[in-house]
Amino acid sequence: MKVKKLFAQAEDFLNSDNRKRKEKKKCLIHVLKKLDKYEDKLNERLRDAEDDEVIDKLNRKLALAQAQQKKGRVLMKELG
Amino acid sequence: MLRKIFLPSILLVLAYGFWISPDFKEISAGVAIFLFGMLSLEEGFKAFTGGLLENMLRRTTDKLWKSLSFGFVTTSIMQSSSLVSVITISFLSAGLISLAAGIGIIFGANLGTTTGAWLVAGFGLKVKISAYAMPMIVFGVILVFQKSKELKGIGYVLSGLGFLFLGIHHMKEGFDAFSGTLDLTKFAVDGYSGVLLFTLLGLIATVVMQSSHATLVLIITALAVQQITYENALALAIGANVGTTVTAILGAMSANVEGRRLAGAHLIFNIVTAALAIGLIYQLTHVVDIVSGWLGIGHDNYTLKLAVFHTLFNLMGVLLMTPFINPMVKFLEGYITAKTWAVSQPRFLHESALEFTDTALKAVRKETLHLYDNAFEIIAAGLRLQPGLVHSDMPIEELIRTANRGDPIDIDERYNVRIKGLYGNIIDFISQVTMDMTVAQTEELFELRTAGRDIVEAIKDIKHLQKNLDVYMVSNNPRIREEYDAIRLQLATVLRGLSLVREQGDDSAAILSLDNLKSEVDYSEAKIISTVDELIRNNRISPEMATSLMNDSSYAYNISSKLVEMGEALFSSGSPDLRDAERSIALEDDEIEAVMLLSQNKGSIKDA
């Protein structure tokens, strides 16, 4: 079993396409998590905001972050 | 002159030696094969430097013990302190590690080289290693011809080890045959004069072969067949240690001031350690006997005792010098100083950074950031803003109000002094990055080159903008003054936004917020255009003023867009893979436009 696992790991290491895809997916997950946190912060600020101009700016930022999230999720699906 | 006659003399002496002694020929061939093996090993490890080594260096050099361990472990694995020195100098030149961390690595590497002596004395001389060498070379060469970078790297490492083993075998065989015809121990010299003479010989041998490891293997194989005395072998080992510094000094010649400081630290370490080892050689041999007894090494097993000695005196050096790393850093920083120039000089572009694609890319990135720092001052000054205040928390509107309205700055002069030469150096350096690059690395280099061009073009645009800005900032017409302040506000917002993103370069969300900065630029540009229309319609500004305003708003838009694009390429401090992920999520211009349109429609429905 251990030998099988070792072979699988070695194959994984030498299969650079697969490795690169996994690495890309890992990085995308990392970026999407950061975006989640950023969106939470924007929502928090939006709840406290009273000035119309500030609300407008925050809404625009939020819309962009959501579009980026959407784009990221599509890419994740493509990577499988 | 000396250089010119050095190589032919060496070749002549060797040729004469080969003619009179076939055994000498075999020993020399052994050394040559061994050195070739080291070259191959280095080539193999270079294949794994892309990203992996960089990440390791970043994680393993934040504390002194980690730097020491990194130097020890990598040198033990790669069996080449020269390669570790070159990599360290290259990373130090590119500003990736501190001088103290670099010194730690070098100290660790000195200890790491001692594992070589153990391997050769403990394994190489006892086992018929040539039996392992042949299959290693065959498998290695097959792998070298593969396309995959990793397999190629493994191939070079494998064949490198094979050649090392083969080299040791030929040295051993050569000395074995040699001992039948000639007894070199007749030339042994006793006492301190012998110690000094053989230290010098060890030093010369290492300088010629450019490898203390090769010298040490030669000493061990000669000692194994009793062609040199144990005492003289110890002195030769000390000399080999000092000789290895020459490689580091040669490597540092093309490095920046940090690289030269590191070579200085290496020299101090090896000279102090060698002086101590020579001074205490008899006491040390006594300690070696005791330690060998503990380790169960036979009294007459001089090769392993030499390995013990080599480890002990390097360990003594590390233990003795490590507490002095910080004073050493201070001393070297005071003694080896960088030249100060009126004209901006490159800080990170050095030949040593060209050794590896990763360090070359890092150097270009850092130097382009340096170029941006210089450009930032010029752009801020061109807008009559104080650069320090742009970085501060002061509200942007207040920043515009408190701006300096004194004499205009000479942007051409500042461009010549702070930008032109530096940009030329970056372009020149990029043209020298000729090593094999992956597609991703080629793209990164292209992006960095574009970022540099964006910075230069932004300066040229600010020069055009400044002409009217200086006139209309003090105009009697309050509306034109307001509009030029709006342009300044737009650019100041971009400059501050970029500073904030740069500060959080490790946060992907901050990098992606550059999309928001782009949308803000579009938004304020649209606002300026609609205001200009209104001002012309109502005859609030003259047609000349309107033309200037339209042109200058276009310059401001170009400057903003170029700087934001530059920020996208330069500010992310993550790994190349992370940068790639950030870029793939970042929105294109039409996507931003669509999002903004949708958000505007939502706003108008709400208002209705």
pLDDT band at B127 (very low <50, low <70, confident <90, very high): low
Q: What is the tens place of the pLDDT at every residue in B321-359?
A: 888 888 888 888 888 876 554 667 888 888 878 878 888
Distance from CA of B51 to the nearest CA of A (A): 12
Measure the CA–CA gap between A5 and A11, rounded to whole angstroms.
10
pLDDT band at B408 (very low <50, low <70, confident <90, very high): low
Is B504 found in the same domain as B443? yes
Is B402 found in the same domain as B290? no
Q: What is the pLDDT of residue B339?
A: 57
Q: Do B581 and A59 touch (CB under 8 A)?
A: no
Q: Rounded mean pLDDT of B365-383?
A: 91
Question: How many domains, in total, are found in chain A?
Answer: 1
What is the rounded radius of gyration, in angstroms, for the C-alpha atoms of chain B? 32
- List CB contacts of B585: < 8 A, sequence separation 6 or more: A28, A31, A32, A35, A68, A71, A72, A75, B512
Q: What is the pLDDT of residue B459?
A: 93
Measure the CA–CA gap between B523 and B603, rounded to whole angstroms.
15
How wide is the angle at C-alpha B27 spanned by C-alphas B24 and B28, nearest 5°? 85
Q: Find chain B residues with C-beta within 8 A of A12's C-beta.
A: none
Residue B244 lies in a domain: yes
Measure the CA–CA gap between B424 and B345, rounded to whole angstroms.
10
Residue with more model confidence, A25 or B248: A25
Which residues of chain A from 36 to 55 reach within 8 Å of chain B, CB to CB?
37-38
Query: Exposed, middle or buried: residue B91 (CB in 10 Å: 0-12, 13-18, 19+)?
Result: buried
How wide is the angle at C-alpha B426 spanned by C-alphas B421 and B431, nearest 5°? 125
| Tokens 């070739």 sit on residue | B36
Q: Do B585 and A35 touch (CB under 8 A)?
A: yes
Q: Rounded mean pLDDT of B465-480?
A: 82
Q: Rounded mean pLDDT of A15-22?
A: 76
Q: What is the pLDDT of residue B340?
A: 53
Is B377 found in the same domain as B274? no
Please give the C-alpha separations between residue A59 and each of B496, B501, B587, in angstroms, as whole numbers. 21, 20, 17
CB–CB contacts below 8 A, A to B: 81
> Which of A14, A64, A71 is the closest to B519 by Cβ?
A64
C-alpha atoms less than 13 angstroms from C-alpha of B562 in its C-beta half-sphere: 24
Measure the CA–CA gap between B523 and B311, rounded to whole angstroms.
68
Q: What is the tens place of the pLDDT at every residue in B503-545?
A: 887 777 888 888 888 888 888 888 888 888 888 888 888 888 8
Q: What separation, in Å, do the N-terminal and C-terminal C-alpha atoms of chain A show?
A: 27
Q: Which of B585, B591, B595, B597 to mutate to test the interface with A (most CBs of A within 10 A)?
A: B585
CB B427 within 8 A of CB B449: yes
Is B87 found in the same domain as B175? yes
Q: Does A30 touch chain B (CB under 8 A)?
A: yes
Question: Strand, coil or helix: what is B419?
Answer: helix
Please give the C-alpha separations between residue B161 and each of A13, A80, B81, B118, B197, in angstroms, as whole numbers. 22, 40, 16, 16, 32
Question: How many domains, in total, are found in chain B?
Answer: 2
Question: Strand, coil or helix: what is B392?
Answer: coil
How wide is the angle at C-alpha B594 spanned by C-alphas B592 and B598, nearest 5°? 115
Is B113 found in the same domain as B70? yes
Q: What is the tens place of the pLDDT at every residue in B536-576?
A: 888 888 888 888 888 999 999 999 999 999 998 888 877 77
Q: What is the pLDDT of residue B535?
A: 87
CATH of the domain at B541: 1.20.58
Tell me if ipTM is over 0.95. no
Residue B3 lies in a domain: no
Measure the CA–CA gap between B179 and B182, rounded to whole angstroms.
5
What is the rounded radius of gyration, in angstroms, for the C-alpha atoms of chain A? 20
Distance from CA of B133 to the nearest CA of A (A): 23
Is B394 found in the same domain as B261? no
Query: Exposed, middle or buried: residue A75 (CB in 10 Å: 0-12, 13-18, 19+)?
Result: middle
Measure the CA–CA gap between B95 and B34, rounded to whole angstroms.
34
- List CB contacts of B544: < 8 A, sequence separation 6 or more: none
Residue range(s) defining the domain that contains residue A53: 2-79
Residue range(s) defining the domain that contains residue B72: 24-326
Q: What is the pLDDT of residue B60?
A: 73
Is B407 found in the same domain as B282? no
Q: What is the pLDDT of residue A71?
A: 92
| Three-class DSSP labels, chain A | CHHHHHHHHHHHHHCHHHHHHHHHHHHHHHHHHHHHHHHHHHHHHHHHCCCHHHHHHHHHHHHHHHHHHHHHHHHHHHHC
CB B386 within 8 A of CB B365: no
Q: What is the pLDDT of residue B536?
A: 85
Q: Which of B326, B347, B375 is the last residue of a domain?
A: B326
Residue B17 lies in a domain: no
